[in-house]
Structure 1
Amino acid sequence: MKPRLLVASLATATAMAFSMHALAADSAQEFVNKAAAGGMLEVESSKIAEGKASDGNVKAFAQKMIADHGAANAKLATIAEAQKLTVPKELDAKGKADVDALQNGTDPVDGPYVELQRTAHADAVELFESYAKDGDNADLKAFAQQTVPTLKMHQEMIEKIATTDTAGGKGPRTTVGGTPDPTPPLPGANSFTEDQAKGRIQDAGFSDVSKLTKDDQGIWRGQATKGGKHADVALDYKGNVVAGNK
């Protein structure tokens, strides 16, 4: 069984400030700021992956992100400028840190890029869905509504890539019985919903997932079965699944 894709090393994962933008926008200008920042991050990080990724699926995904988000960014700018709103022209500090870490990391780029894209798309879907429902500007609200399906398609694509083996990458660390890996589960802002957390744990080969609750460190914890063994399971914000004998 091939391992699942994960950040290539803990050092890179710790150093990279994955983009964790606040997910709601209270005004049209705030939506433009956050949507533009996220869109630029998608494009700039994908340009790096297009050139440095070793896996063909990752490269193809990066190319699609450059095309799709490039077009969406241009459309957002046109609407915002017509509404006399300011459009950011550069990455924000967090986005720049993410891109710099991706560009300068010593590990293969595939794993860090995939994890960045998973987080960025989870944030983008929530931002756009929220504004599509409650936005205060009709034109931007329509743009958000039209863009949500594409973002969800991207999210499905990157989740599929994350569950396959990729050159230079390693999968989410899963341990059943004995002593779990001493590093995961990692504390951090967790964007997985309960259903998504259950799905990720099931993808790691577990069944009968139950009693899932998210603790104050952002870690989903519950119970599950694998290979006939009952286990306590944990899922952190990076997708690491860790289990031990119950």
Structure 2
Amino acid sequence: MPRALSSVPPLTRNQVSKNNTSPNMKNTSITRFSTSTLAFCAALIFASNGMSADKDTLDAADVKFVKQEAAAGMAVVKLAGLGAQKAVRADVKAFAEMLVTDHTKANEELTKLAATKGVELSAVIEPKHAETFQKLEKTESADFDKTFLAEMSSGHKKCVGNFEDAAKDAKDSDLKMWAEKMLPTLKTHLEQAKELASK
């Protein structure tokens, strides 16, 4: 009997260590595994929804610019549409038609950009622009051309200034790029309005 007992090999240091693994060590391993698994699942969820962990939003100044210029762009299309109908001079009518085309495209681009940034835009024309429309609607003949061009000149002058500020100071890179892209067109509109008004 003693000889049988002595035939059992002694446990090695590594075997003792494995057998004596503490519950705390096991819990730590489980915790690490769970944390890694959760992080991986979260990444998959964001990827499947086409989102990133950092939501792409605009700061207050950028939001103000987007809403302000969306309202102004909508007003230009409405006023220019009236100009295309009522302008007496052929060059003023052609200018109004160009404004409708250019600003309709710009409005569509800004609407899409705003949607990607989570900014809701109003579909209702602002009161001040509605008043201008009503004033032009009541104006006839050559007086219409003069008043229309004056409105387009003053409106585009303000618009160019706002876009220059956004192209320089906008925090959002997409918005800044769009403002930079639009500036040459807006400056052309301003120069044409001033030139036509001088005739």
TM-score interval, smaller chain: 0.5 to 0.7
Residues matched between the structures, number: 140
How much has 1:27 moved relative to structure 2?
Answer: 1.4
Deviation of the 1:41 alpha carbon: 1.5
Choose 1 or 2 for highest CA Rg. Answer: 2
Aligned twin of 2:18: none
Q: Which has the higher strand share?
A: 1
Q: 1-side partners of 2:122 and 2:184: how far apart?
A: 24
Q: How does 1:211-226 map to 2 (within 5 A)?
A: none
TM-score normalised by structure 2 residue count: 0.67
Q: For residue 177 of structure 2, what is the amino acid of its counterpart?
A: A
TM alignment of 1:192-203, pairs within 5 A:
none
AA aligned opposite 2:65: F
Matched, 1:109 2:144: yes
Q: Distance in 2 between matches of 1:111 and 1:162?
A: 7
AA partner of residue 162 (structure 1) = A
TM-superposed CA distance for 1:48, in Å, is 0.6
1-side partners of 2:123 and 2:66: how far apart? 11
Structure 1: give runs of 5+ residues left out of the alignment.
1-24, 165-246
Alpha-carbon distance in 2 for matches of 1:100, 1:91 = 12
* 1:138 aligns to 2:173 (yes or no): yes
Matched, 1:92 2:129: no
- In 2, Cα distance between equivalents of 1:93 and 1:122: 20
User: Which has the higher relative contact order, 1 or 2, with Cα contacts under 8 A spaced 6 or more apart?
Assistant: 1
Q: Does 1:152 align with 2:187?
A: yes
The residue identity in structure 1 corresponding to 2:176 is: K
Q: Deviations over 1:28-84 (max 9, x none)?
A: 210111111111121111111100110001000000000000000000000000110
- Does the aligned pair in 2 maintain the 1:29–1:86 contact within 8 Å? no
Whole-angstrom distance in 1 between the partners of 2:176 and 2:60: 12
Aligned counterpart, 2:16: none
- Supply the distance in 2 between the matched residues of 1:52 and 1:44 (Cα, whole angstroms): 13
* Structure-2 separation of matches of 1:80 and 1:28: 10
Superimposed CA distance per residue, residues 144-173 of structure 1 (whole angstroms, 9 cap, x where no aligned partner): 010001100111111110111xxxxxxxxx
Helix, strand or coil for the counterpart of 2:178?
A: helix
Which residue is 1:67 aligned to? 101
Q: Provide the residue aligned with 2:43 in structure 1.
A: none
The sequence identity of aligned pairs, in percent, is 29
2-structure distance, mates of 1:156, 1:26: 31
Q: Find the aligned partners of 2:70 and 2:124 in 1 and give their Cα distance.
A: 9
Match of 1:123 in 2: 158
Which is helix-richer, 1 or 2?
A: 2
2:63 corresponds in structure 1 to: 29
Q: CA deviation at 1:122?
A: 0.2
The TM-score normalised by the length of structure 1 is 0.55
Name the residue aligned to 1:45.
Answer: 79
**Structure 2, gaps ≥5 residues long:** 1-58
Structure 1 range deviating more: 34-43 or 119-128: 34-43
Q: What is the identity, as a one-letter code, of the residue corresponding to 2:118?
A: K
